[in-house]
Amino acid sequence: MNALRFENKTVVVTGAGSGMGCSASLRLASEGAKVILLGRQAGALEEVSDKIKRMGGVSYVLPCDIKKENQVKETFIKVSSISRHVDALFANAGSLGAFKPLAEADISDFSEPLETNLKGTFLTIQHCLPLINKGAILINASWTTGSVMPGTGIYAATKSALLALMRTLAVECGPRGVRVNAISPGVILTPMAASALPAETVNTLASHALLRRNGVPDDIAGTVAWLLSEDAGYVTGQEIVVDGGFTIGGMR
């Protein structure tokens, strides 16, 4: 592996303040990327930026709530002032929403996941695309798009919609040299996921993975870096599942 696959390249990461966004940002910076960190919590972004700077990397902090179109638009104006060209985007930010059976769900339960996972990801890509002239976009989907965990129906529906978005974008953007893919992580114990799942459920999920453990954010970072790099230069329109064999094993 070329340790500097992203030398002289600019990469934007949303949801960069924690979890998979944080780990991916650190990995990309370690490979030479200038990383632009987006997220709602400025303090968390600053902590990630400090880590990048301590390892000799370059990063910029741009607080942004991707649910708000004006903020997204203004943020990418700032991105363009930092770098006139973006080489890659990891559209990572997402929301779990409320876990409950669909029969017990209220229409209001759709609001946060739809606003963040679908609308926010769309807005991010829409406003970043004019800055990408040949490059890569990676959308963070979920293992729940291809398998079922009771209680996550609304979340899974929004993530499944992202796969349709990804495939359409891949077709539309391919002629201009922009690759578009999705990564579907398995059970990854990010702070968001760990806080939403009881310890007993976490242990049960780990026992169902073929590797007999749940994932951690660092398990995803390498695949993110590969898909955004030229090493994956002929890969587009694909969903890459990184789940330790969980979905093959199934809920048993």
pLDDT at 1: 43
pLDDT for the residue 2: 52
Domain ranges within the chain, ordered by starting residue? 10-240
| pTM attached to this predicted model | 0.93
- Confidence at residue 92, expressed as pLDDT on a 0 to 100 scale: 97
pLDDT of residue 180: 98
Provide mean pLDDT across the span 90-99: 93
| Residues classed as catalytic | 155
- Does the pLDDT value for residue 121 go beyond 90? yes
- Give the C-alpha separation, 167 to 242, whole Å: 18
Strand partners, 12: 36, 89
Residue 203, pLDDT score? 79
Structure token pair of residue 162: 């992202």
What confidence category does residue 16 fall into, taking pLDDT thresholds of 50, 70 and 90?
A: very high
pLDDT band at 72 (very low <50, low <70, confident <90, very high): very high
- Average pLDDT of 139-149? 91
Q: What is the pLDDT of residues 187-215, one digit of tens each?
A: 888 777 766 677 777 777 777 888 888 88
Q: What pLDDT was estimated at residue 241?
A: 95
- What superfamily would CATH give domain 10-240? NAD(P)-binding Rossmann-like Domain (3.40.50.720)
pLDDT score at 252: 53
DSSP labels for the chain?
--TTTTTT-EEEESSTTSHHHHHHHHHHHHTT-EEEEEES-HHHHHHHHHHHHHTT-EEEEEE--TT-HHHHHHHHHHHHHH-S---EEEE----------GGG--GGGGHHHIIIIIIIHHHHHHHHGGG-SSEEEEEE--GGGTS--TT-HHHHHHHHHHHHHHHHHHHHHGGGTEEEEEEEE-SB--HHHHHHS-HHHHHHHHHHSTTSS-B-THHHHHHHHHHHSGGGTT--S-EEEESTTHHHH---
At residue 194, the pLDDT reads 67
The more confidently predicted of residues 5 and 203 is 5
Nearest to 2 by CA among 235, 231, 232, 233: 231
Average pLDDT value for the chain = 93
In 10 A of CB 147, how many CB atoms?
Answer: 18
Stretch 111-119: mean pLDDT, rounded?
A: 96
